[in-house]
Amino acid sequence: MAFVNLRHLRRRRDIRLSIKGRVYCAVVRSVLLYGSETWPLRVEDTRKH
């Protein structure tokens, strides 16, 4: 629902791309990563780091 409310922000051409990027980092990325520490980790993923 929050992403739908941000649609008007993405479509506006008078807002700089850098501002839109900051909004993405602050809102969208934090929502997507919420709870990521509980995601299952595969053995292949642990070997990469």
Asked if residue 4 has pLDDT above 60, the reply is yes
Number of domains in the chain: 1
Mean of per-residue pLDDT scores for the chain = 81
pLDDT at residue number 43: 81
Asked if residue 7 has pLDDT above 80, the reply is yes
22, amino acid identity: R
Q: Which domain holds residue 28?
A: 2-48
Average pLDDT over residues 11-30: 87
pLDDT at residue number 49: 58
Task: Measure the CA angle with vertex 8, ends 29 and 16; round to 5°.
Answer: 70
* Eight-state DSSP code of residue 18: H
pLDDT at residue number 36: 81
